Amino acid sequence: MTWPVDFILMVALILAAFAALHMRNLVNSVMIVVAYSVLTALLFAGLGAVDVAFVEFVLGAGITGILFFALLFHAGARERPPRRRDHRWLALPLIGLFLALMLYASTGIPDRGDPESPANTYVSPDYIERSLEDTNTPNVVTAVLADYRSLDTLGEVVVIVTAGLACMLILRRREEDS
Amino acid sequence: MKGPFRNEIVHLICALLVPFVLIFGIYVVAHGHYSPGGGFTGGVLFGVAIILLRFYADQTTAQRHFRSSWAVGTALAGVLIFIFIGLVPMLNGAAFLDYAGFAPLIDLPAAQIRYLAILVVEFAVGLGVAGTMILLFDVLAEGEA
């Protein structure tokens, strides 16, 4: 019953991607990218993944937009025209080949919500059934992220902090250099 | 950015939003057990509240609420708290990040120990993410200053 909504959202997603690429003014481009994130978050919410949708709203439609705008203030909001155009005939066949490969691969993944798929039969039923008595936490997603799979969460936090530190080291001006 | 926005509309909207976003961010981290959210979203919301301060308030006010030099320390503190929570069970013989290893230290049922450990871990994740967001914004915004 929800597939028409998903279909409309995906069509809107593709249109937003095209629009974001063709905008001359980069401020408009950033706003359309933020709209793209909102549409993606709605798709996630339609799948029932509310935590992921929340993260996508806050990170994709929130902080990414802010950081892009902060960057646009010194990069300038006008996109310079591209200098050469003759790589298009090399890129399009490769993109078409990649698209065909992805479409062929998508026929092999299990149906959406299939209870017999490998993702739903290995440890997921265990986690869902035992998380409340093991951890007193009604939210299964938090229990899996912070207890059963907390090593992955540690890796994620380390990656985020490392990326921030790398940006700081690259972008921060030193007083003696400039 | 060459400084805070001088527009009254931006000033009003940001000034109205900052306390609510701040409290909502802390709420999302603390209620990760019961509602969607957890450490990542709460941390980003906290960072966004501090960034909104830098949009409209002048330099001294914004720095008084959260100094730019604290951002790196906050992010690293988050990572270190997480690693510390992981290492303590190893002293009692359990595996890394195995919260059952806290049982000899704290006199609570095992499920409650894991509940509290999840809370501390989410708090650490929130700190790490908030510090990184504020650091990124400060680094990007100081470019032309």
pLDDT tens, A124-159? 888 888 888 888 899 999 999 999 999 999 999 999
Which residues 6+ apart lie within 8 Å of A67 measured at CB?
B136, B137, B140
User: Would you state the pLDDT for residue B145?
Assistant: 44
Q: Does B126 touch chain A (CB under 8 A)?
A: no
Nearest to A142 among B32, B47, B83 (CB): B32
Which residues 6+ apart lie within 8 Å of B136 measured at CB?
A67, A164, A167, A168
Q: Let me know: does A43 contact A19? Beta carbons within 8 Å.
A: no
- The distance of B67 to chain A (nearest Cα, Å) reads 16
Nearest to A74 among B82, B124, B144 (CB): B144
Which residues 6+ apart lie within 8 Å of A145 measured at CB?
A152, A153, B38
Residues in chain A with pLDDT values less than 70: 1, 74-85, 173-178
CA neighbours closer than 13 Å in the CB half-sphere of residue B5? 17
**Continuous H helices in chain A:** 3-22, 26-46, 50-55, 64-75, 88-106, 118-121, 124-135, 140-143, 150-171
* Residues of chain A contacting B3 with CB distance shorter than 8 Å: none
ipTM: 0.89
CA A30 to the chain's CA centroid? 15
**For the whole model, what pTM was predicted?**
0.87
